[in-house]
Amino acid sequence: MLSDQLVVMQKHESAPCISIVVALDGAQDKKAALQLVNQSIEEAAEHLRTAWPDKAAALINALNELSDSYKYSPADRGIGLYVALSYNKLFRFSLPVQAKVCIGEKFAVRELLYQEQYGFDYLVLHLEEKMVQLYRGRMDRLEQINDNNFPFRFTNEYDYTPPTLGDMTKDKSVITGLRQKNFYRAADKPLEAYLHGQPLILTGPTKDIGYFEDVTTHKKDITAYVHGNFSNVPMKALEDKVWPAVKSFIEMRDQQAIRELEDSREQVVDGIRDVLDAARDGRGGKLLVEKDFNSADFTDKLTGRLRTRGPEAAHAIDAVEDAMRAVIDKNGEIIFVKDGVLEDHKHIALITRY
């Protein structure tokens, strides 16, 4: 969904595009949060009145309307206000962000891309003896699916068929296991309608996870396991157990990207200037950048070259944003990694197509 929103944003980009990112980690309540938002809006307003006097009033009014529409939540780690003459949108950030105010010909999308990397959809299937529950997850929040398929409840039709004379030697535990597998096999069938390439996390008692794995046709989709019975606990308790497993999956995916980087040395350029040149040439296949790496360089509008940021460029988009945009424009991939991981590559590296 966010990818579609980025496409919409690009279609409405006409200078000046205002991107305000407000970090809310220090805000304890709505009043404190709105104070931070209004400070950033005033910073943007001062620049707009000087650089874009004919458009300032309309843009400042749009920013204030977005601020007024914000409904505070203590779960928000930040918010983003994105405004142009024909576009305005407020985004909530569930992960820490760095505060900034950018005004230029394009929107600053770094935080949106970072949230997109962590904000993919996933499914959680909770298994227990008499019921299978399905949840749709995004970030650290879950929503239970309640429809004609789930929750999937045990009925007598899943009872193990009474043993024949030859089966009389089977003990009770074997019969129970076979009955449970019949139940999970039936629950596995409607799962197909919900899986569209998303990761699948299994939760439940260890024995039930084992039974399900024996009969599922979706083994390739399973990315993590959370052992324990969470059928009668608050949703928050399940969320708190699942989210670390999701983050571990993301970190594993990032490690694979770093291994790919090291294995592709002949097709790797690093350092912001060389990365930006290669990306602008259309060679950007996969861009790896440290989460909080900010370049002191930006693109000079007159010459198109990079130069070190000065006071007059206080609200300019930095070269890292330019590199990300160049990669996106050629359908490349962007992966954010932990700070310090790419120190040998000057904090940013590009796996080129050729």
pLDDT in tens, 19-78: 999 999 888 899 999 999 999 999 999 999 999 999 999 999 999 999 999 999 988 999
Amino acid at 181: K
What pLDDT shows up at residue 231? Answer: 86
Do 201 and 242 touch, CB atoms closer than 8 A?
yes
Domain assignments of the chain as residue spans, ordered by start = 1-119, 121-252, 264-354
* Closest of 123, 110, 132 to residue 287, by C-alpha: 110
Lowest-confidence pick of 2-16, 221-235, 299-313? 299-313
CB 108 within 8 A of CB 100: yes
Q: What local confidence, expressed as pLDDT, does residue 247 receive?
A: 87
Class of domain 121-252: alpha beta
Backbone dihedral region of 334: left (phi > 0), alpha (psi from -120 to 50 degrees) or beta?
Answer: beta
Of the listed ranges 35-39, 52-56, 203-207, 230-234, the one predicted with least confidence: 230-234
pLDDT of amino acid 177? 82
Query: Which pLDDT band holds residue 156 (cuts at 50, 70, 90)?
Result: low
Quote the tokens at residue 341.
Answer: 């991981």
| 264-354 fold | 60s Ribosomal Protein L30; Chain: A; (3.30.1330)
- Compute CA 322 distance to the chain's CA centroid, rounded to the nearest angstrom: 21
Of 10-14, 17-21, 161-165, 168-172, the poorest mean pLDDT is in 161-165
Residue 206 burial (CB count, 10 A): 10
Confidence of residue 229 (pLDDT cuts 50, 70, 90): very high
pLDDT band at 3 (very low <50, low <70, confident <90, very high): low
Across residues 258-287, what is the average pLDDT? 93
The crossing angle, in degrees rounded to 10, of helices 2-11 and 110-118 is 160
What is the pLDDT, as a whole number, of residue 254? 84
- Out of 167-171, 248-252, 264-268, the most confident range is 264-268
Confidence class of residue 168 from pLDDT cuts 50, 70 and 90? very low
Phi, psi for 192 (deg, rounded to 5): -55, -35
Please list, residue by residue across 11-45, b when 16 or more beta carbons sit within 10 angstroms of its beta carbon and e when fewer do.
ebbeebbbbbbbbbeebeeeeebbebbeebbebbb
Least Cα distance to 210 among 247, 253, 176 occurs for 176
At 165 the pLDDT is 47
User: Would you state the structure tokens that stand for residue 88, as one six-digit string?
Assistant: 């305005």
Whether the CB-CB separation of 130 and 205 falls below 8 Å is answered with no
For range 155-182, the mean pLDDT: 66
% pLDDT > 90, the chain: 69
* Residue 303 pLDDT: 62
More confident residue, 304 or 46: 46
Which band of pLDDT confidence, cut at 50, 70 and 90, is reported for residue 167? low
pLDDT digits (tens, 9 = 90+) for 111-153: 999 988 887 889 999 999 999 999 999 888 999 999 999 999 9
> pLDDT (tens digit, 9 = 90+) per residue, 264-274?
988 999 999 99
Contact call for residues 312 and 47 (beta carbons, < 8 A): no
CATH, range 1-119? 3.30.960.10
Can you tell me the mean pLDDT for 156-174? Answer: 56
Average per-residue pLDDT for the chain: 89
**Is a pLDDT exceeding 80 seen at residue 171?**
no
Q: Would you report the helix, strand and coil content of the chain in percent, each value rounded to 5?
A: 45, 25, 35
Q: Are the CB atoms for 308 and 296 separated by under 8 Å?
A: yes
| Burial class of 176 by CB neighbour count within 10 A (0 to 12, 13 to 18, 19+) | middle
Omega within 30 of 0 (cis) for the link into 190: no
Contacts of 221-227 spanning 24+ positions with Cβ under 8 A: 221/195, 223/122, 223/199, 223/249, 224/199, 224/248, 224/249, 225/201, 226/201, 226/202, 227/203
Residues 176-195 have a mean pLDDT of 93
Q: Are 342 and 268 in contact (CB under 8 A)?
A: no
Q: What is the pLDDT of residue 1?
A: 42
| Strands 268-270 vs 348-352: parallel, antiparallel or unpaired | antiparallel
* Max CA pair span of the chain: 92
Q: Where are the beta strands (DSSP E) in the chain?
A: 17-23, 78-84, 87-93, 100-104, 121-127, 131-138, 141-144, 152-153, 200-204, 222-227, 268-270, 284-290, 297-299, 306-308, 333-337, 348-352
- Looking at the DSSP bridge assignments, the partners of residue 21 are 80, 100
Q: What digits encode the pLDDT tens for the residues 319-347?
A: 999 999 999 989 999 999 989 999 999 99
